[in-house]
Amino acid sequence: MEIQKAATRDGYGKALLELGKINPNVVALDADLSDSTRSEYFAKQFPDRFFSMGIAEQNMIGAAAGFAFSGKIPYASTFAVFSERAYEFVRNVVSRNKLNVKIAGSHAGIATGEDGKSAQAIEDIAAYRALPNMTVLQPCDSVEAEKVVFKLADYKGPSYMRMHRNPVPVIHSFDYKFEIGKGEVLKEGKDVVIFATGTLVHESLKAVKILESENIKVYVVNIHTIKPLDTSLVIDLAKKTNCVVTAEDHNVIGGLGSAVAEVLSESYPCIMKRIGLQDRYAESGKPEELYKKYGLDAESIAEEVMKIVNKKR
């Protein structure tokens, strides 16, 4: 049976369209990239509630803030790396005033591939995580992306949703119950836990098959909400395994690895390894080639896990 694949940006566009049908207060804004972010689905159905702001991300965020002030629910999308052009607006207008603006950044991480390092956002989680009042989310498949879009319509406050360009396996069924701030245990183990987010959830699940052949039993946890982090689950599984790995398509500085390390350093220090970009930019290339070169593919994850488990033993 062929595994269904879809990009999280596709889930975003599909859910935004469906949400628009049932909630007239939803509006969508985009910075001249609606075809890439898939907000064009909404635009075609609701042209009077869609606003193309051109290549003017600061203006987009300012307008979204205005909609939020007037009681609308604005979803503002662009490429993740371009959303950072409006960072000062997000900070001083949206975050500081706790405005109900939903920011969506597509084409995140080095999985963006051939577009090269100028378009590969590897610092966006760190930037948005540092803002008070900001919720930071990264769905791992298209179904979860749909769930995030609908959940954010009921959530009051600013948020940043990180999305990806390329199709990944759909691992969730449509009856999946998504909850902001609660990690999802996908695989039970005992020797080590991998806290993964986004595309690295799939690489981690593939790594498990390699590790099981080495008699290493692995927890795999989908951390779809990086802020607020599910600290109770992080601490609980750290205590059970005393061996923690984080995996993300992002710089290891400031991302999921930093978030987990911050919690454990204060609550339960243990052996830990952060897998991600090692404080460097990548380059242009096919996503699978870049993942292999920079140690984000399943084989590299398995190798690092074996090293840390042997260290614990």
Report the distance separating Cα 9 and Cα 30, nearest Å.
13
Question: Is the pLDDT confidence value at 1 over 80?
Answer: no
57 catalytically annotated: yes
Please name the residue that has the structure tokens 């990548």. 282
Q: Which two tokens stand for residue 257?
A: 């690895």
Identify whether the C-beta of residue 158 lies closer than 8 Å to the C-beta of residue 182.
no
Options 40, 57, 144, 304, the catalytic residue: 57
Instruction: Give 31: exposed, middle or buried? Use CB within 10 Å, 0-12, 13-18, 19+.
Output: buried
Instruction: Give 276: exposed, middle or buried? Use CB within 10 Å, 0-12, 13-18, 19+.
Output: buried
pTM equals 0.96
Delimit the CATH 3.40.50.920 region(s) of the chain: 184-312
Identify whether the C-beta of residue 308 lies closer than 8 Å to the C-beta of residue 192.
yes
User: Minimal CA–CA distance to 178: which of 204, 205, 211, 143?
Assistant: 143
Class of domain 5-169: alpha beta
Class of domain 184-312: alpha beta
pLDDT in tens, 104-116: 999 999 999 999 9
Question: Is the pLDDT confidence value at 2 over 70?
Answer: no
pLDDT in tens, 154-212: 999 999 999 999 999 999 999 999 999 999 999 999 999 999 999 999 999 999 999 99
Delimit the CATH 3.40.50.970 region(s) of the chain: 5-169
Distance of CA 247 to the CA centre of its chain: 12
pLDDT in tens, 11-57: 999 999 999 999 999 999 999 999 999 999 999 999 999 999 999 99
Scanning the chain, the segments in alpha helix (DSSP H) are: 8-22, 34-37, 40-45, 57-69, 80-83, 87-89, 124-129, 142-154, 200-212, 231-241, 256-267, 287-293, 298-312
What is the pLDDT at residue 271?
Answer: 96
Q: In sequence order, what DSSP letters do the residues of 70-96 get, joined into one string? A: TT-EEEEEEEHHHHGGGHHHIIIIIIT
Identify whether the C-beta of residue 106 lies closer than 8 Å to the C-beta of residue 79.
yes
